[in-house]
């Protein structure tokens, strides 16, 4: 893993890590979702080191549910990392809009990365910056492939050719009320945003940032996209935790999480951070 090249824009990442993670049930009764362990490390470890390997040296973490645990982890584990990490307590049940409002004064670069704190990804976010610049977009989303949890009927030329489970899905056909039948992709929870777009909506009043902001940008043709071809997986349910922590050697989600862990462990050793 090589160090990223110098750039004009200093990458800044806002990692959303304040939610309760209620879909994880008892797993998050005593810990926040980003601290759930995957192969021996918290999800947050994966997020920070992966972003750091891509050149991010500024992190903003809007804290909420059990935020003191995240603060203690950052203070104890990443205290020698050559990066600025701002930890802002934004309330336990605050929506994303309010959390962004409370960290808005820290967003001084023209763009910033907005990262969901529950996903594992082996993706170079510099690709988002390149796509963003090429299209003069105001927001560029990382799209991802998923392993379908449902049984799939595969059809070619109107004929059923197979039935399968646990297959990779790149896109869907979506019956949209406004646009009719269109192709739909999965939002990977990694978005590059022009910082000033936050000033175009009332962050304190919005209950759903994606619905209010992303829809507006898409309708104005100001939204770009980049497909993640490498590993990506969101940790949302106890089953997801079991999948990535399993010893299964044929499931791409288990294999991908362990490959990512090993890569980041090697990168961490190369940095010689003396992490605790």
Q: How many CB atoms lie within 10 A of CB 255?
A: 14
Residue 2 pLDDT > 50, yes or no?
A: no
The β-bridge partners of 58 are 12, 84
Task: Quote the tokens at residue 233.
Answer: 């997986």
Q: How far apart are the C-alpha atoms of 149 and 240, rounded to whole Å?
A: 11
Contact, 73 vs 48, CB < 8 A?
A: no
Helix (H) or strand (E) holding 13: strand 12-16
pLDDT of amino acid 72:
97
pLDDT of amino acid 150:
80
Contact, 104 vs 196, CB < 8 A?
A: no
Question: pLDDT per residue over 7-41, tens digit each?
Answer: 566 899 999 999 988 999 999 999 999 999 999 99
pLDDT of amino acid 163:
87
Contact, 99 vs 90, CB < 8 A?
A: yes
Tokens 């799209």 map to which residue? 143
Give the whole-number percent of the chain exceeding pLDDT 90: 72
pLDDT band at 138 (very low <50, low <70, confident <90, very high): very high
Question: pLDDT per residue over 56-92, tens digit each?
Answer: 999 999 999 999 999 999 999 999 999 999 999 999 9
Across the chain, mean pLDDT equals: 91
Task: Quote the tokens at residue 8.
Answer: 């004009």
Q: How far apart are the C-alpha atoms of 50 and 66, rounded to whole Å?
A: 23
Question: pLDDT per residue over 209-237, tens digit each?
Answer: 988 999 899 999 999 999 999 999 999 99
Backbone angles phi, psi at 257, to 5 degrees: -65, -40
Q: Is the pTM of this model over 0.75?
A: yes
Contact, 69 vs 35, CB < 8 A?
A: yes
pLDDT band at 176 (very low <50, low <70, confident <90, very high): confident
Backbone angles phi, psi at 189, to 5 degrees: 75, 20
Q: What are the helix and strand counts (H, E) for the chain?
A: 8, 17
Domain ranges of the chain: 12-144+187-271
Residues 6+ apart with CB under 8 A from 232: 119, 120, 121, 122, 123, 142, 144, 145, 188
Q: How far apart are the C-alpha atoms of 130 and 47, rounded to whole Å?
A: 20
Question: 12-144+187-271: what CATH class?
Answer: alpha beta
Q: How far apart are the C-alpha atoms of 190 and 228, rounded to whole Å?
A: 10
């Amino acid at each position: 893993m090589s160090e990223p090249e110098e750039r004009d824009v200093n990458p800044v990442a806002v990692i959303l890590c304040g939610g309760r993670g209620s879909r994880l049930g008892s797993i998050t009764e005593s810990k926040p979702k980003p601290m759930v362990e995957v192969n021996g490390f918290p999800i947050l470890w994966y997020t920070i080191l992966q972003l750091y390997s891509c050149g991010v040296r500024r992190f903003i973490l809007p804290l909420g549910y059990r935020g003191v645990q995240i603060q203690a982890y950052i203070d104890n584990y990443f205290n020698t990392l050559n990066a600025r990490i701002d930890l802002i307590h934004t309330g336990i049940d605050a929506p994303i809009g309010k959390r962004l409002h409370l960290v808005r004064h820290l967003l001084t670069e023209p763009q910033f990365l907005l990262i969901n704190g529950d996903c594992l990804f082996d993706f170079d976010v510099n690709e988002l910056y390149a796509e963003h610049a090429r299209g003069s977009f105001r927001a560029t989303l990382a799209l991802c492939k998923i392993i379908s949890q449902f049984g799939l009927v595969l059809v070619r030329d109107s004929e059923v050719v197979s039935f399968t489970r646990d297959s990779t899905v790149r896109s869907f056909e979506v019956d949209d009320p406004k646009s009719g039948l269109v192709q739909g992709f999965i939002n990977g929870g990694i978005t590059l945003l022009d910082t000033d777009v936050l000033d175009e909506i009332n962050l304190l009043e919005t209950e759903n940032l994606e619905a209010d902001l992303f829809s507006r940008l898409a309708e104005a043709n100001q939204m770009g996209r980049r497909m993640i071809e490498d590993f990506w997986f969101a940790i949302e349910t106890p089953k997801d935790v079991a999948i990535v922590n399993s010893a299964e050697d044929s499931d791409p989600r288990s294999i991908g999480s362990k490959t990512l862990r090993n890569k980041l462990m090697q990168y961490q050793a190369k940095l010689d951070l003396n992490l605790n």
